[in-house]
Amino acid sequence: MFDFKSAKKRVDEAINPTHMFYSEIFSDLSKNNVYIKPENLQKTGSFKLRGAYNKISKMDEESKSVGIVTASAGNHAQGVAFSANHQGIKAIVCMPETTPMIKVDGTLKYGAEVDLHGQTFDETNTYAQQLAKEKGYTFIPPYDDEDVIEGQGTIALEILESLQEADYILVPIGGGGLVSGIAKCAKEMKPEIKIVGVEPANAASMQAAMEKGGPITLDSADTIADGTAVARVGDITYEICKENVDEYISVTEEEIMVALTTLMEKHKLVAEPSGALSLAASKKLGCKNKNVVCVISGGNIDMSFISQLIHKGLYEDGRIARFTVELQNAPGKLRDLLDVIAYTKANIVEVLHDSLAATSRYKNIQVEITLETNGKDHIRKIKELLTEKGYNIH
């Protein structure tokens, strides 16, 4: 059913080689030998190019002459646009009317036509499939398609050619196309290898499918990892995962943010939240001293969102602390408080102090303080010292 080696020859016409590298920091955190497969450095910024290019390459010439259509507001849109442009094929990408212009422009620059239609993705997807029937275009699915899955599986070929000793491959799951391709290909090459699918805890649709015996639609898929916020996995991807994925791990929003900030700080690499799922999960593997490959699935993230993620990630990692202290409304009391904090070697980022907010000069006021700290143990010591000095902390 799948010929991954032939798919590799096809996609090699378009992709960048993404070279794996050893991560000392994530190895230390997980007690394993962690290697990173950085598909965030791929052309178009994600793995999606592989599946789209393979699918389009396998079309017959008559179908290519008519054109293709898809529905997406994310990485799949750009993968399809690039692939079609590379092969000289007309491409129409349907997007919801609410799609941010940065994503529209990102697709237009690869040569596709963008058709904004519908308020939700389901409306847009239905419209795109109707367009395919009316105009004779070939519809390019984002994940639940054998040719797309085959293209994504070429990542496993590269992993095992580079690291034959790999024991585990950790893969993010949205609709299941990436993990299906990698799992199927890796198991053919090395049956004993363990494939671990990773999902946001708030959008664990593949695990829900496994529990229910088939794909179901989640009531909600609300997560910062928007690239994997899929409420229902594919039928084809479910069947492949059922036979080839060994384990599933869920990661919290906080764990995703910490993984993102660690990746940026230690490796100078930017990933989108979905891309960091495997790294977040690497600390939760129940093994030690194994060769673990983490696939970073993509790096397309809005610049305005990066600062928010960094701040939240540092907060969860104990690098930033924020708390409120009750303070007597009298001259010199704020200075006394800041002297105590200075003694702890914490760096003060912000102090919100409004003495006029007190309803009486005899009542305490509340001072909100934001600090740069050296970890959760440092925060604990700061609070202990403040409590010892008689301050009430909220």
Q: By the 8 A CB rule, do 298 and 269 touch?
A: no
What is the CATH code for 4-46+146-307?
Answer: 3.40.50.1100
Helix (H, G, I), strand (E, B) or coil at 51: helix
Beta bridge pairs of residue 171: 197
> Is 48 one of the catalytic residues?
yes
What is the CATH code for 318-393?
Answer: 3.30.70.260
Dihedrals phi, psi of 334, to nearest 5 degrees: -65, -40
Mean pLDDT lowest among 66-70, 219-223, 247-251, 359-363? 359-363
Kindly state the tokens that stand for 128.
Answer: 């795109």
- Confidence (pTM): 0.86
Catalytically annotated residue among 8, 37, 43, 48? 48
Averaged pLDDT score across all residues of the chain: 93
Range(s) of the chain covered by CATH 3.30.70.260: 318-393
Please report which confidence band the pLDDT of residue 99 belongs to, taking 50, 70 and 90 as the band edges. confident
Residue 354 has pLDDT above 80, yes or no: no
Separation CA 326–CA 59 (nearest Å): 69
Range(s) of the chain covered by CATH 3.40.50.1100: 4-46+146-307, 48-139
Architecture of the domain delimited by 48-139: 3-Layer(aba) Sandwich (3.40)
Catalytically annotated residue among 23, 180, 282, 297? 297
Residue 74 has pLDDT above 90, yes or no: no
Beta bridge pairs of residue 368: 324, 352
> Is 333 one of the catalytic residues?
no
Separation CA 181–CA 195 (nearest Å): 11
User: Counting beta carbons within 10 angstroms of the beta carbon of residue 342, is it exposed (0 to 12), middle (13 to 18) or buried (19 or more)?
Assistant: exposed
Mean pLDDT lowest among 26-40, 50-64, 90-104? 90-104
